[in-house]
Amino acid sequence: MSGLIWFLLGLAAIGVCFYHRVALWMSTGIAGLALLGYTFTGAGGAAWLAFLWVVYAVLAVTLNAAPLRRMLVTDRLYDWFRRIMPGISDTEREALEAGSVWWDGELYTGRPDWDRLLSFPRPRLTEEEQAFLDGPVEELCRMLDDWDVTHKRKDLPPEVWNFIRESRMFGIIVPKEYGGLGFSNYAHSQIVMKISSRCGTAGVTVMVPNSLGPGELLKLYGTDAQKDYYLPRLAEGREIPCFGLTGPYAGSDAGAIPDTGVVCKGEHEGREVLGLRLNFEKRYITLGPVATLIGLAFQARDPDQLLGGDPELGPTLALIPADTPGVEQGHRHYPLEAAFQNGPLRGRDVFIPMEQVIGGQEYIGQGWKMLMNCLAAGRGISLPAQSNAAAKMATLTTGSYARVRKQFGLPVGAFEGVEEALARIGGETYLMDAARRLTLSGLDLGEHPAVISGMMKYHMTEAMRRVINDAMDVHGGKGICQGPNNYLGQVYNELPIAITVEGANILTRSMIIFGQGAIRCHPFLLKEMLAAGDDNADRGKADFDQALMQHAGFVIGNAVRAFWMGLTGARLIAAPTRGVTRQYYRQLTRISAAFCVTSDIALFMLGGDLKRREKLSGRFGDILSCMYLASAVLKRFQDDGRPPEDLALVRWACEELMFRIQERFRQIFRNFPGAVTGMLLHWLVFPWGAHYAPPSDVVGHRVAERVLGKGETRERLVEGIFRSSDPKDAVGRLEDALRKTLAAEPLETKLARGLERKIEPARVPEAVEEGLKAGVIDEDEARTLREAFEAVHGVISVDEFPQQKAAASRRGGGTRRTDSGSATRTRGTRSKSTARSGSRTSRSTRSGSSDSRTRKRGDTEETP
């Protein structure tokens, strides 16, 4: 019996070593001591003991003696690894090397350091930044009328364009020494979010110059001369920038840009200089129709070797003034009838001097790397800010609407079906803002987390889609009837735009998040790949040997950790907090270990083929992303001071994310290469079965309660968006109705009791008069009830337009109503009203640029 105990103790000791990732030499010594103790018991007989000692000696010497280990094991694996390693193109290599690894790398360790997460500073605004939000940004929001912008003008009014320029909103990221605002990433996000909550077109217009484009590229890579000239002009709005990357044949595969720039000599300002002759065709370029300064990505070539090197120079970025001969702009796209300026750019034989290359001649061929290092702004700041704006506004309006809209004598928010949607809206909004804040914390610390920015782009825009869909369902007919009083319809229409831009969501999920994250975040995989690709074979084998041994211990250690935490439910894991959230830290630690071992085995079995197994890759990416999102939720709760009233939101978000993680694991195991391996992994990760459950109805009910009506939690949920108090404004009218409804509810109860009957919402005016006559209520109470009824009636009403029966419609030409009820011809010859509208659109479009020069293709003349 004592021999069995020693044997089990030995196995346990080895397991503890792997669990805690004890150094190899120490683990070997501990295993030797355990075997020695087992030997002294005399259990098993001499032959069995001799076998164990031989196995131990072979493993101990082989693993600890590096020359022998390399000769027998790792050098052989090195050749195999080189064969199975997927080929990496130059563009993929530059993408992998771009940016930095931050909290995403910690999640890929199997034992995240939660104290490190909680130590990250909470993003805050400076006094100057807060004053800018309360001043110019607030004023801009009050100037905006989304219906007017989107459905009448198809553009921002000229005075809005001017205000944006004069307020230096195009220079949020431009350093102060160049005349810009020089604000933090957090302030940048808050500004874009607030403007977007009022008008999507204005949000995009402010967002783009401060995202991926000339400003960001010049700040990071521009020459001193380029910075000194262009950055002040961009900050002051004297230049309106755009960036041309996407074209008809280069969408998701942006590395396949067919646009060219050939090195040659040409005339510039009356003298012959060395430069590039460009030919390009771009589309979907935001601000393209009105831009005065075009950033352009193209393939640089030097067929005559004027630069003395390789004829194929590679992706390059340059600045092109829009009035350069050969540039064609002015035509527009209308992405789902959104009104922000977007259109194609073309160029034929456009000559630019070499000084227009961003960074100068030495940066020719480095364009892809430059772009990859700048993607964090669009993916990590701008699109999440827009997504949060939509979700917060949906939370505000849907909570209010579900409170004031009644059916069967009850607010619709009281019905469990609606309550379920409200819970998702509130939970997703809390989660989204938590992720936004954590990411901005990293960016303001100087990180450039490329993998996290991909997560944010995909998950924030998808969460926005879910929130808006739920909000539309709750609003019903109110949400589907377009008009000045519909605060959801245009956001709903434009949802696919955010899903599509900055890397289509399908591509981002299935190829980028895990494809890039597995290599960048893994502590050893990139080292192994670099060693395998080293031109110096001896150095490569030595580096590979060291990385592989660490990797092997990493895999076994995570397998032991995952299994042990699965057996114990992770109840023995240390956590940085007490209370309800402790369990979520523990479970995320367990999930991290399970994710690491499962992804390592998948990488080992599939090798380079995992690159093509996009369904598996997407599921692994979902798990990594959900761990990050749950981390953000816990971090936000801690940063906010752990308010008890927010705990329902934390529980909803964490339980929803862990359930999603569980389902992705199950899908991976079910479709793993090799059914037996999948079954074994399922048993390893979930030894007692899969027990994570989605948020309970009780938790959902508590979240819905916080979305409905007033309260501190609701205020924190919608913090940062523009909130009008004007009853003439659609959202202001809704908030006014909510305030009056809450004030009238006790009086409604009093009235119903006094009249001894249930009062239908439509019969409130009659009941008020009856109650007055009967002395149930007084005149002041009656006035409160009437005001509430009128306010709610105004809210639940939808826009309607008169039908104009034009003779043209009987001849086969259709008519289209405007907000005033007038009709314009949509087929055949344009009517005068359309021509006038088109002329106005053309003028307002041109007003967006800093000059009125004529473009080759000209502005569009027709209002679509």
Pair 698, 416: CB distance under 8 Å: no
Pair 206, 191: CB distance under 8 Å: yes
Catalytic residue flag (residue 645): no
CA distances from 92 to 89, 97, 178, 322, 533 (A): 5, 9, 34, 31, 14
DSSP-based three-state secondary structure for 263: strand
The total of other beta-carbon atoms located within 10 Å of residue 68's CB is 12
Tokens describing residue 420? 């379920």
DSSP conformational letter for 512: I
First-residue to last-residue Cα distance in the chain: 87
Pair 816, 823: CB distance under 8 Å: yes
What lies within 8 Å, CB to CB, of 125 at 6+ separation is 133, 184, 186, 187, 190
Which amino acid is it at 128?
E
Nearest CA-CA partner of 245 in 276, 272, 212: 212
DSSP-based three-state secondary structure for 451: helix
What is the spatial distance between Cα 11 and Cα 5, in angstroms, rounded to a whole number? 10
Tokens describing residue 142? 């009050």
Which amino acid is it at 558?
N
Pair 558, 595: CB distance under 8 Å: no
What is the spatial distance between Cα 181 and Cα 197, in angstroms, rounded to a whole number? 22
Three-state secondary structure readout of 607-623: HHHHHCCHHHHHHHHHH
DSSP conformational letter for 134: I
Pair 349, 402: CB distance under 8 Å: no
Pair 862, 333: CB distance under 8 Å: no
Task: Please provide the DSSP assignment of 790-809 as one string.
Answer: HHHHHHH-----PPP--HHH
User: How does 714-725 read in b/e, with b if 16+ C-beta sit within 10 Å?
Assistant: bebbbebbbbbe
Pair 237, 273: CB distance under 8 Å: no
Read off φ and ψ for residue 804, nearest 5 degrees: -100, 120
DSSP conformational letter for 626: H
DSSP conformational letter for 511: I
What is the spatial distance between Cα 789 and Cα 404, in angstroms, rounded to a whole number? 10
Which ranges of 277-382 does DSSP label H, i.e. alpha helix?
A: 367-377
What is the spatial distance between Cα 399 and Cα 742, in angstroms, rounded to a whole number? 13
What is the spatial distance between Cα 27 and Cα 11, in angstroms, rounded to a whole number? 12
Pair 464, 390: CB distance under 8 Å: yes
Which residues are paired to 815 by β-bridges? 825
What is the spatial distance between Cα 661 and Cα 683, in angstroms, rounded to a whole number? 16
Nearest CA-CA partner of 325 in 344, 346, 350: 350
What is the spatial distance between Cα 864 and Cα 844, in angstroms, rounded to a whole number? 15
Helix axes 383-404, 185-198, angle to 10 degrees: 40
**Size (the chain), residues:** 864
Among residues 502, 528, 705, 748, the one annotated as catalytic is 502
Catalytic residues: 502
